[in-house]
Amino acid sequence: MKKRLFTVLCAMALSFSLSTECFASISSSTKNVPKTCLSKSSLVDEINSEQNNDNLSEDVINASYEESNEKYPFKKLNKLSNEEIIELSTKISWKDIPDIFKYNEDTYEFYSNKNRVQAIIDGLYQKSCTFTATDDNGIDTLVEILRSGFYLGFYNDSLKYLKDRKFLDKCIPALIAMENNPNFKLGKEGQDKVVLAFGKLIGNASCNPEVVNKSVAILNQYYDEVNQYPKDKLKGDAVLKIMSQITYDIDQYCYDNNIRDGKNTPWTGKIDNFINTISKFASITQITDDNGWLINNGIYYTAKLAKYHSNPKILHKVLDNCLKTLPNTSEQYITTLDLLKSDFNSKDSNGNNIDVDKIIEDKKNAFLPKTYTFDDGKMVIKAGDKVSESKIQRLYWAAKEVKAQFHRIIGSDEPLETGAADDVLTMVIYNNPKEYKLNRLLYGYSVDNGGIYIENVGTFFTYERTPKDSIYSLEELFRHEFTHYLQGRYLVPGLFNQGDFYRGNNTRLTWFEEGSAEFFAGSTRTTVLPRKSMVSGIGQNEEERLNANSLFHSSYSDGWEFYTYGYTFTDYMYNNDHKLFKDLVDSMKSNDVNRYDSIIKRCSKDKNLNRQYQKHMNKLVDNYSNYTIPLVSDNYMKKYDSKNLQTVKKDIENAMGLNNSKIVKERSDYFNTYTLRGTYKLDSNNGEFNNWNKMNKKVNEALEKLNKLPWKGYKTVTGYFVNPRVSSDNKVEYDVVFHGLLHHNDNFIEEPTITLTAPTKGNAGEKIKFTSECSTDDSNFSYVWDFGDGNTSNEKNPTHIYKTSGNYSIELKVTDSKGFEIEKSSEINIFKILNGNPVRETEYNNGFENANEINLNDLVSGDLQGDDSQDTFSFEVTKPDDITITLENSSADKDNFNWLLFDAENTNDYLAFPKNKMNQLTKTITIDKPGKYYLVVYQSSKEKNNYKFLVEGSFVETPEVNEDKNTNETDENTNETTNTNHDNNKHEDSNETTNANHDNSKYKNINEEEYNDDFQCANNIFKNQIVSGNLDSSERGDTFSINALSAGTINVILENSNMDSSTINWLAYNSEDTDNYIGYASKNDGNKFSGSFKVNKPGKYYIVVYEANGNNSKYKLKIDGDIESSSKSDDKDIVKEEKNDDSFDSATKINTTATITDTLNNEDNKDIYYFNVDKTTNLNIKLKSLNKLGVAWQLFSEKDLNNYIAYGSKSDDSIVGTATVEPGKYYLLIYKYTQDNGAYTFTIK
């Protein structure tokens, strides 16, 4: 059987990341990998494709970066001496070498000089001896230059000396020198980069037992300290490279020397410590999103390296133990099974057989318990239990729309072969990206993508996704993959990579297959529409786009932008050059490779074709706002009365004027459908393309006529026409095919119509109203709005405030009481309104020496025209901080306008330049030191253009607690006192309006709540709060947490009431590293300890207040910065546990808007809360233990306190559950079931 092996939806792969915290996963066993893949030629880490960020394709793609300086191609490097190259490596990145890893005359000249390569190796040795914790000494760049040479040496005989292992061994002294350097450890970025380069070099050079054994220190350090940096990708990459590339080199040696059993190698029995250390990673039993990749790799390399151990059975037992300790539905558990099968003959360490195949089948059924059949079994969908039935049905109808438009274009619907695997199309859809990762283990196919079609088994695999997982919806991806199925079944003969079209050039059709799949994903019942999600990827100008010639010769190794331009070229042909489209299609159907190559050769040289193609892209870009993402209509999900089959036949015949028609009924799980096939003759023969246009119009007119008939089921009909021919009466005749709904089955549930109403544009910082309407009673519906910026709402008609400008996708998911889901989406453009103190630029200000002086937060306006093409401004930054520069201009061509930021101390090199965001030139820059800075606004045209800009930042130093405040007036909330005679005009002689910063009247006083002595039980502090607390000899530390909303500076002021103020202080920590503080009190003024610290990104941070000597101390803590505001509007939302709340009678009253934190111990082992509900609603209850406390919850109604009405189930680290309740009073019981003491928190929404 001729079948294409697979087609990967690589475009979707870029939009999908299994997890930003999941650095790696393990591929299938390498026993099935072609030998050519197990060579030094491959820079792709075939063992750990997801962790690897420096494989060949990315090396080539990312050979330049945004703010690089001068480029150093090999032509320039060849003119330098060896010493100059080695010195240069400390000043440039390897990304500044544009032709690295590319074979050309210049790279040949460079690497054919053996003395030069040896000198670089020697230079690497010297640098390996002298790098420091903060300076990698250019090692990263030198290593990449060497790796490039070894790669080119493998593929090119003219450099074959570079693949000789004896030559590769020349790098071993440099590797050992790195390891002997005391700075060779994980730590600062420079150190991590050296460790990463060390592992990468081994993968392309070689190693020996000494190199391997010395690297154990890195693995042990990572094992001991992994919890300190669970999301530090650079460290994770470095450790993984050591494991993977050492294993890779040893396996390569065995392959070259035909050693299959691992015996009699230089490493056998000599690297036990290395292998044992890796096995420690395999023995981690607590799997999290952060360490799952590490456990995976520990298991994988434990299995792969076992045969080199002096006692392989020790490692075999490690894998046995993994099956005992790991959750049996985890990726790690199934990985272990896969490796026991591939490397240990499906036996445990005692020689007992393990029925791996049966276990795998059981896992398939567990993750894909649902099976749906359509069209008498010709289409089968296996899905996870979280993939809604309505979405499954929509996918079926989407397939019919794509199929109709595909056959209209290619002109035939006869399969290239019969009796093939794809006679039945099977689709496998996992619940989410995490479960999709298991597809590699369950079915054996790649998962580093958004979906994959395996043609020789007629199956494609994908997963349900949220907007956070992918910019493409499940239906969009389905449509793309379904097109690949149609291509292989009806268009391209032969096996993928084996058919005639792949011989000699396996990328010949790449652009067409992927581009047309993206194109047909936009199919509707009557046409193919532009997809907004694809048009958004088109470059704004011709320089940013692929031209036609580059597109035709694209391959997967070139990156993924050819998907976008393959799509746009297909759209161009469909709308402007139908003849070219048909010529390409006909060459494929007839398996005429020479004809296809001739067409491509001609088109590649056709400058006019490229101009027309560029014009078409301009049109698409200009009309972007008018486009949508074509998805199936809600008409498919309505329930219609049954229709007689013969009546349907007659109606369609009348609408189209068909002859010789036959209709066939087809059965599916939820409904029955029909396919009607007949013939139609055109009145006259007006030429091939005029005939096509006339038939296309005629079929669409027939569909419109059917739409207008009383029976609304006709709105599900699709139609196409194929097989044009001249009839015996010299007329042009076509076969015409219609498909549609006949009637629904009893198990079909009509989907309510949901209308999402949202504005198409709005302003950042302003409230925006979103509404939804339902066609049926929605009292039992739940709503989940996703606003596209990381925020959600469960209200039916919410309001939302966007903080930053941008284009956002809005998703609404509505679920009824039976679990039936409806999804709607929309888009909104959010614009940033520039507000500030109005200032007008004044001439002459064209240079640094005559720059206009402005202040931060001034709204500056000006214009440029003629020879006045540049305006210069200066401003002062008084403290290290983040500033944001935003500029608007009136230029019709936005590429003509720009700005640059300079430090006054170095006006030769700019600090930053902007990005275009919503027609504004904007960027946030971290300013490390106070001083003067210049902003240069310029344009490249002579036309007059107006502009305005805003430089946002902080004016003044760290605000302080007003020194005049004392403790004489009692405050009702804190028992502290304040001075009512404080002079608010103390700073009247200052030019800065600081009195607002010192006025604490806007702050709310709250008390710290015990227990808060550690990070897990920290009290939350919100914006505009002052916390009062106490410390003594029994409790010498209190912990508080804040949520920083943006990168910037946090200011902390601690006021101590003790006379001995030196005994109390504070420290700041990042939640991702609670072993090393990031801030402390840098200023002591009497009883006040103030200071600031910088946060590099939004997130959670801790402030620890501590008493050094154990004295009794009262304090006030105030934190200022861009931190989260309290969601509690007044004191009624502040919940304090009643002392005796362990019965229904003494329950603590709460509001469902509050977040409640409390503790349980052996004396107080349960808490009961009550709340009132005033209307029928859905409750979502989430309980979380803040340490190892084992807790659970039950919900009771006041009407029956003997029987709970809902309870929580474990989900990740929380206990969650839902309940639909009527108006009344309800009680929530929280209880512990372990002997541990600790804290918990819960929310009710």
For the annotated catalytic residues, the residue numbers are 481
**Both structure tokens of 535:** 């048009």
CB-based contacts of 741, cutoff 8 Å, min separation 6:
636, 640, 671, 672, 673, 713, 716, 717
Reported as type and span, the H/E element at residue 217 is: helix 216-225
Looking at the chain, how many residues does it have? 1245
CB-based contacts of 296, cutoff 8 Å, min separation 6:
24, 25, 26, 331, 332, 335
Q: Is the dihedral of CA 1096, 1101, 1107, 1113 positive or negative?
A: positive
Q: What are phi and psi of 764, to 5 degrees?
A: -60, 140
Residues 76/78/83/86 CA torsion (nearest 10 deg): 60
**To which residue do tokens 């050059």 refer?**
577
CA nearest 46: which of 54, 58, 37?
Answer: 37
Q: How far apart are CA 355 and CA 366, in angstroms?
A: 17
- Cα 452 to Cα 8, 518, 570: the distances in Å are 5, 14, 22
What is the three-state SS of 673-731?
Answer: EEEEEEEEECCCCCCHHHHHHHHHHHHHHHHHHHHCCCCHHHHHCEEEEEEEEECCCCC
CA nearest 323: which of 307, 310, 341, 309?
Answer: 341
Q: How far apart are CA 630 and CA 635, in angstroms?
A: 14
- Collect contacts of 418-421 with beta carbons under 8 A, ≥24 apart: 419/1, 420/1, 420/2, 420/3, 420/458, 420/489, 421/1, 421/3, 421/455, 421/456, 421/457, 421/458
Q: How far apart are CA 510 and CA 515, in angstroms?
A: 8
Longest Cα–Cα distance in the chain: 112
Q: How far apart are CA 114 and CA 122, in angstroms?
A: 12
Q: How far apart are CA 531 and CA 564, in angstroms?
A: 11
**Residue 567 exposed, middle or buried by CB count within 10 Å (0-12, 13-18, 19+):** buried
**Both structure tokens of 316:** 């075999």
**Residue 400 exposed, middle or buried by CB count within 10 Å (0-12, 13-18, 19+):** buried
**To which residue do tokens 């936009």 refer?**
522
Q: How far apart are CA 450 and CA 16, in angstroms?
A: 6
- Amino acid type, 107: T
**To which residue do tokens 């006025």 refer?**
999
CB atoms under 10 Å from CB of 415, counted, come to 13
Q: Tell me, what DSSP letter sits at residue 624? A: G
CB atoms under 10 Å from CB of 1219, counted, come to 17
Say if residues 1135 and 1056 touch (Cβ distance below 8 Å).
no
Q: Is the dihedral of CA 422, 428, 433, 436 positive or negative?
A: negative
Say if residues 565 and 534 touch (Cβ distance below 8 Å).
no
- Amino acid type, 1069: Y
- Amino acid type, 839: V
Reported as type and span, the H/E element at residue 111 is: helix 105-111
Q: How far apart are CA 15 and CA 6, in angstroms?
A: 20
